[in-house]
Structure formats: C-alpha cells, structure tokens
Amino acid sequence: MKRVSLTQYLVEEQRLNNSIPAELRLLIEVVARACKTISHAVGKGALGEVLGTAGSENVQGEVQKKLDILSNEILLEANEWGGHLAAMASEEMESIHPIPNRYPMGEYMLLFDPLDGSSNIDVNVSIGTIFSVLKAPDGMGTPTEQDFLQPGSKQVAAGYAVYGPQTVLVLTTGNGVNCFTLDREMGSWVLTQRGMQIPADTKEFAINASNSRHWYPPVTRYVDEMLAGETGPRAKNFNMRWIASMVADVHRILNRGGIFMYPADQREPDKAGKLRLMYEANPMSFLVEQAGGAATNGKQRMLDIQPTGLHQRVAVFLGSKNEVERVTSYHQE
C-alpha cells in the first residue's frame, strides 16, 4: 500500500480543492507535531513522572492533572513562533493567549482542550486533544476574547487526537473527515481512513446514566425508549457505551455510528451542561457534520450557536443523524 503522509495529504488537498492555504497547513502540521509530543508523554505514564494532580485548579474549578498542564504548555510552545496565529485559547487558561510581540502575528486563532478525558489519565484509558481553528475577524487589532466568539460554522479546521492503543489524528478542513495513524517507529502521521462517514441509524448510545435521576423529561423519554428494546416503541435493542473521554466516544461514533449525549440537567438549572462549546462541542460537531452526522444542543444546530463566553458550557447531542434528530425533536414537543 502506498503510504500518504499528513503533509502529502495537505499539499494535495490544497492543489485539488484549494481548501488549505499554506499558513493553515503549517498550523495543522504544528498542532499534529505537538500531539505527537503529547502522545509520547502520555505513553510514558508513571515512567515519565507525569501522572497525578498538579495541585492547581483551572478556570472551571476543576483539579488540573500534571499531564493537563504539560499538554497545554506543549501546544502553546509549538504554536507561538510560526507566524500563523494571532492568538490561542485553552480549557486550561482563563484568558486568551495572544502571540508574544517577538513573533509575527498570523490570521488564524486556535482553541484547544489540551487533554480531554482527565478522569482517565491515571487509569490508562484513552484520552485526547481537541482543537478548533477560526480566522481572525477582518481588521482585528490586538486580539481579545470577543474576537474568538464566533459560531462554530465559522471554523476553518477542527480535529482531535486520541492517545489510545493507537494514536490517531482525525481532521476536517471542511471537505470531509480523514484519519491519520501515528507510525511510532517513523514518527510520522499516515493517512489510514479517507472520508469517514457516520451511518444515519444506529443501535448504540453513549450517556453517563448515573445522572439519570437529574435528567429533563425529553432525555429520560429518549433513553427509556431505547432501553425498552425490541418490545418497546423503538422495536429494537440498543447497546450502551460510555468511555468518559469524549474523544474516544466520538471516535467510536465516527467509525461505526452511535449517539453521544451530555445533556444539561436539573441539578444546576443555570448550567447549560458540562462540556464546553468553543473547544469541545464545536470542533466535534464540525467533524460529525462533515461525516454526515448531526449535532445539536437539544434545541438548535450546535454550529449556529452564537457564543457569549470563551468557556461557556453547552448541552451536547451528536452522532448518527436520525437519532440526533429524534432526541432534538423530543425537546421541541
């Protein structure tokens, strides 16, 4: 089999479809290189003395793991100097990170969750990096948080890496979704799946069922109907999976279909959900739509939401189209 590297894919994609300008290609390659470094650190585990908590909290009041902080630093350092970015933002930093004055400023803005699935870091279960790329607004001066607050439909690229049994990078630039596998011996990303597609129907769902007593009625109805199986209103049996790493759950769905849900619930009515819009839900929704799936917050298309804050939370329903449409319609009834 002829191997196509990430670089070759990006160059050819630009030639054929004119969809990846050189600056964007550099950006994607730098992010991919940083993911390689993170993968290496994750893979060392206890031997690299990177496990455990760092003794600090992030802006959402969550305890930071050593690997959360390390991954954040790896991404910041890798992306500062290239001249392709105007600013960065991360789950692990309260405010945005403008490119230091000593480097040229580019026209893109990068958002990331450096290491998603924090609860799985110390137990050797798949975790990953999620990223989203926006263009700086026309005429932008010194970048501010406001410049980042663009709906997900404005993303020019998005992707994630999964650090699991294999390290993979899944990427879209708005022309389908492709998967690259890290060749650990060669240190290169090799194209291993072209045009990933999510089947419209599925028999698999993912939700943290321990929260079921707090769910709102549309979610309870939807899940109950699936649990009722063959003799229930859906007249088929469903299987359940919950990895507690969004990257790993979404990767399964991109490969074989399914629906992923992290709804808002009645515990904290003012909280729109657990996951973050700008660097978790939006990039994943872009990928899922590009693979023929759908993504909503239960009420509207995820990518149409006008963000109001860098770290805002959102309810998430994404994956196989017919299932996402069904649970969304239950919210409208």
Sequence ranges of the binding site for Mg(2+):
91, 113, 115-116, 280
The C-alpha atoms of residue 299 and residue 1 are separated, in whole angstroms, by 45
Query: Scanning residues 113 to 132, which ones bind Mg ion (CB under 5 A)?
Result: 113, 116
Half-sphere exposure at residue 199, Cβ-oriented, CA atoms within 13 angstroms: 9
Whichever of 169 and 206 has its CB closer to ligand AHM, that residue is: 206
Site stretch for Mg ion (CB under 5 A), options 76-84, 106-114, 152-160, 234-242 = 106-114
Binding residues for substrate: 116-119, 208, 274
Number of shown-chain residues binding Mg ion (CB under 5 A): 2
Site stretch for Mg ion (CB under 5 A), options 15-23, 109-117, 193-201, 227-235 = 109-117
Contacts of 141-145 with CB under 8 Å at 24 or more apart are 142/98, 143/86, 143/87, 143/96, 143/98, 143/109, 144/96, 145/89, 145/95, 145/96, 145/309, 145/310
Contact between 114 and ligand AHM by CB under 6 A: the answer reads: no
Query: Residues 116, 128: contact at Cβ < 8 Å?
Result: yes
Query: Scanning residues 173 to 212, which ones bind Mg ion (CB under 5 A)?
Result: none
Query: Scanning residues 272 to 311, which ones bind Mg ion (CB under 5 A)?
Result: none
Shortest spacing between CB 244 and ligand AHM, in angstroms: 4
Question: Using CB under 6 A as the criterion, what x/- string covers residues 263-292 for binding ligand AHM?
Answer: -----------x------------------
Q: What does the DSSP assignment read for 27-91?
A: HHHHHHHHHHHHHHHHHHGGGGT--SEEEEE-TTSPEEEHHHHHHHHHHHHHHHSSS-EEEEEET
Site stretch for ligand AHM (CB under 6 A), options 97-105, 116-124, 282-290, 299-307 = 116-124
DSSP secondary structure letter of residue 4: -
Dihedral-angle region of residue 33 (phi above 0 means left; psi in -120 to 50 means alpha; beta otherwise): alpha
Residue keyed to tokens 């129907």: 201
311 binds, among Mg ion, ligand AHM, none (CB under 5 to 8 A by kind): none
208 binds, among ligand AHM, Mg ion, none (CB under 5 to 8 A by kind): ligand AHM
Sign of CA dihedral 297, 130, 149, 96: positive
Contact between 119 and ligand AHM by CB under 6 A: the answer reads: yes
Number of shown-chain residues binding ligand AHM (CB under 6 A): 13
Whichever of 97 and 313 has its CB closer to Mg ion, that residue is: 313
What CA dihedral angle connects 65, 67, 71 and 73, to 10 degrees?
Answer: 70
The single residue among 118, 285, 297, 328 that binds ligand AHM, judged by CB under 6 A, is: 118
Shortest spacing between CB 197 and Mg ion, in angstroms: 25
Query: Residues 287, 309: contact at Cβ < 8 Å?
Result: no
Query: Residues 132, 106: contact at Cβ < 8 Å?
Result: no
Contact between 57 and ligand AHM by CB under 6 A: the answer reads: no
Q: How far apart are the first and last CA of the chain?
A: 51
Q: Which residues bind ligand AHM (CB under 6 A)?
A: 62, 91, 113, 116-119, 208, 244-246, 262, 274
Q: Which residues bind Mg ion (CB under 5 A)?
A: 113, 116
